[in-house]
A and B are shown apart, each in its own frame.
Chain A
């Protein structure tokens, strides 16, 4: 809940800041997303990304960083979208296993994110669009990697 509120607050700040502050480059979204759409900027892009790539999340087996067939299908759709939006930068966020020890979970989450990143590059996404991070086991949920649009 807090996360969602924070994100929308950030979005508000971003739009008002770019409109008011001199010297800040105005955000330019891809054509089609801003014309008459209820959402603008990064929110619109996120909504479009989630809809057209069939989800921002891929899942892993416990203790594994191997991409299965369903994960590769989702990532292929994400990669297609990213190639169509070369101005968009994403952060792939890896998560570890809940039953693991902290630092190993952090490393495994990072490795999951790196596997996703490498697959994107293999599919022709520019590496400048990609960064990775890991939440280890600090945030609950299944072993997964989430592609988050940063800008």
Chain B
């Protein structure tokens, strides 16, 4: 099943992994993590299949999740690696040391008398021969994927120290057709592409959907009244309403990290300024006062600072200010235009779109303006949004036919990867970890 070529690749990756230790952005290395099939104490039927089959499917999903990262190289489940239920808490580390695994994911799926299942997840450090973390979930059998995603997250955090992004959602604008015949709908999906669905009808144009931190709501721009205005959508009920009940053009919404506030841009006259309002409604407070286009504001994770773009210097540049609008300071000086900033969840970086005669590319810069680095080489890349791990971004790339597509890129310098969606897509956004 594993070709010789693949094997040597794995070995090479394992060597790199041990040399890298705690990985920093900028190093291309992957840690090998073994994912043998989860155990089940007793094969019992559930509403989603028997526990033995759920355990096998969950193991495959965990390996698949970890495969999507650049930091982890999973060894997928193999039937020869079945272990017994008692072995879940007493693994044989020697077996896993010999194939280069640094970490080991084990666990079990057990049927409960109340028709639900217990999903146990254990992560071990193979070299040290000890447990790193464990978590148990009691879920409806139909929710086994979410429990598996949580288990993947536990393994990812053990390797990287960063939050796992497997139980997160992505939203974007699904685009069908071109020109005036273009239909745009807001789509929502799990970060692995499953549970893809449309949450607006396509009757009016929509832009820039932004998820609330736990992905219950979406702030977006809709043209219901003929002009762009920020609206709030409850994903579960489909109910939506304007954020600010006035007649002004408003756009570029983004939730605060705690979900209580929304930053947005509004034009009372010819000028775009940045405002903040409660996500529950109420009056908006103006934060910028410049005769230029100020837009695309994003909070720092502690909510004390805001990064935004302004063309007050003659071209779009990035500025950081306090959350009350005071202390505005320009941070981008790289000899090009800088736009669409978003602060990373760990506070270390600000992602941006850099515009110069060569095109539009995605990059990152530290909040103090140092450490600028470009991550993509596209000619029409745009709109980066952070994953909860702060190690990866999703962005929009216009293809040769003009139809935009979604890509993911990690901070380690590897090539962007296409995100498979049913049609064209633009303006992606990524939620925090759910629950």
A-to-B contact residues, CB < 8 Å? 1-3, 65, 91, 99-104, 106-108, 110-111, 114-115, 118, 131-136, 138-140
Given A2-B180, A103-B251, A106-B251, do A91 and B226 touch, yes or no (CB 8 Å)?
A: yes
B418 at interface by CB-CB < 8 Å: no
Q: Is A133 a contact partner of B249 (Cβ separation < 8 A)?
A: yes
What B residues does A104 contact at CB under 8 A?
293, 295-296, 309, 311, 316, 339
Q: Is B251 a contact partner of A118 (Cβ separation < 8 A)?
A: no
Q: Which of A101, A103, A118 contacts B270 (CB 8 A)?
A: A118
Given A104-B309, A107-B251, do A115 and B427 touch, yes or no (CB 8 Å)?
A: no
What A residues does B205 contact at CB under 8 A?
135, 138
Tell me the nearest residue of chain A to B338, going by C-beta. Answer: A101
Q: Which of A91, A133, A136, A139 contacts B207 (CB 8 A)?
A: A136
Tell me the nearest residue of chain A to B292, going by C-beta. Answer: A107
Complex CA distance for A139 and B270, rounded to whole angstroms: 21
Tell me the nearest residue of chain B to A106, going by C-beta. Answer: B251
Q: Is B270 a contact partner of A115 (Cβ separation < 8 A)?
A: yes
Q: Is A114 a contact partner of B270 (Cβ separation < 8 A)?
A: yes
Please provide the chain B residues from 40 to 86 with a CB less than 8 Å away from any CB of chain A in the complex. Answer: none
Q: Measured between C-beta atoms, what is the minimum distance from B275 to chain A in Å?
A: 13
Complex CA distance for A135 and B226, rounded to whole angstroms: 10
Q: Which of A99, A100, A118, A133 contacts B228 (CB 8 A)?
A: A133
Q: Measured between C-beta atoms, what is the minimum distance from A111 to chain B in Å?
A: 5
B272 at interface by CB-CB < 8 Å: yes
Tell me the nearest residue of chain A to B225, going by C-beta. Answer: A133
> 6 shortest A-B CB distances, which residue pairs?
A114-B270, A133-B227, A107-B272, A101-B339, A3-B180, A107-B293
Q: Which of B179, B226, B340, B360 contacts A103 (CB 8 A)?
A: B340
B-to-A contact residues, CB < 8 Å? 179-182, 205, 207-208, 221, 223, 226-228, 249, 251-252, 265, 267, 269-272, 293, 295-296, 309, 311, 316, 339-340, 353, 355, 360, 382-383, 426-427
Which of B205, B267, B316 gathers the greatest number of chain A CB atoms within 10 Å? B267
Given A101-B353, A115-B270, A140-B179, do A132 and B227 touch, yes or no (CB 8 Å)?
A: yes
What A residues does B339 contact at CB under 8 A?
101, 103-104
What A residues does B293 contact at CB under 8 A?
104, 107-108, 111
Tell me the nearest residue of chain A to B310, going by C-beta. Answer: A104
Complex CA distance for A102 and B182, rounded to whole angstroms: 16
Tell me the nearest residue of chain A to B359, going by C-beta. Answer: A99
Q: Which of A3, A103, A114 contacts B265 (CB 8 A)?
A: A103
* Majority-rule SS of B interface residues: strand
Q: Is B181 a contact partner of A101 (Cβ separation < 8 A)?
A: no
Instruction: List 20 A-B residue pairs with CB atoms under 8 Å apart, sorted by A's residue number.
Output: A101-B382, A101-B383, A102-B427, A103-B208, A103-B252, A103-B295, A103-B340, A104-B339, A106-B207, A107-B265, A107-B267, A107-B272, A110-B249, A111-B267, A132-B249, A133-B228, A134-B227, A134-B228, A138-B205, A138-B207
Q: Is A133 a contact partner of B316 (Cβ separation < 8 A)?
A: no
What B residues does A135 contact at CB under 8 A?
205
What B residues does A118 contact at CB under 8 A?
270
Extra contacts besides A106-B249, A131-B226 (12): CB < 8 Å:
A3-B180, A3-B181, A101-B353, A104-B316, A104-B339, A106-B228, A107-B295, A110-B272, A111-B272, A133-B223, A133-B227, A135-B205
Tell me the nearest residue of chain A to B314, going by C-beta. Answer: A63
Q: Which of A2, A100, A102, A107 contacts B383 (CB 8 A)?
A: A102
What B residues does A115 contact at CB under 8 A?
270
Which of B182, B205, B270, B272 gathers the greatest number of chain A CB atoms within 10 Å? B270
Q: Is B383 a contact partner of A134 (Cβ separation < 8 A)?
A: no
What B residues does A110 contact at CB under 8 A?
228, 249, 267, 270, 272
Q: Measured between C-beta atoms, what is the minimum distance from A58 to chain B in Å?
A: 15
Complex CA distance for A118 and B249, rounded to whole angstroms: 16
Q: Measured between C-beta atoms, what is the minimum distance from A93 to chain B in Å?
A: 9
Complex CA distance for A108 and B270, rounded to whole angstroms: 9
What A residues does B270 contact at CB under 8 A?
65, 110-111, 114-115, 118
Q: Measured between C-beta atoms, what is the minimum distance from A148 to chain B in Å?
A: 10
Complex CA distance for A139 and B184, rounded to whole angstroms: 12
Given A114-B270, A133-B226, do A2 and B360 touch, yes or no (CB 8 Å)?
A: no
Complex CA distance for A120 and B322, rounded to whole angstroms: 39
What A residues does B252 contact at CB under 8 A?
103, 106
Complex CA distance for A140 and B181, rounded to whole angstroms: 12
What B residues does A107 contact at CB under 8 A?
251, 265, 267, 272, 293, 295
What A residues does B226 contact at CB under 8 A?
91, 131, 133
Q: Measured between C-beta atoms, what is the minimum distance from A134 to chain B in Å?
A: 6
Complex CA distance for A114 and B270, rounded to whole angstroms: 5
Q: Which of A132, A136, A139 contacts B179 (CB 8 A)?
A: A139
What A residues does B223 contact at CB under 8 A?
133
Q: Measured between C-beta atoms, what is the minimum distance from A5 to chain B in Å?
A: 10
What B residues does A139 contact at CB under 8 A?
179-180, 182
Q: Is B249 a contact partner of A101 (Cβ separation < 8 A)?
A: no
Q: Is A134 a contact partner of B249 (Cβ separation < 8 A)?
A: yes
Q: Is B269 a contact partner of A114 (Cβ separation < 8 A)?
A: yes
Q: Which of B251, B265, B309, B355 contacts A99 (CB 8 A)?
A: B355
What B residues does A99 contact at CB under 8 A?
355, 360
What B residues does A138 contact at CB under 8 A?
182, 205, 207
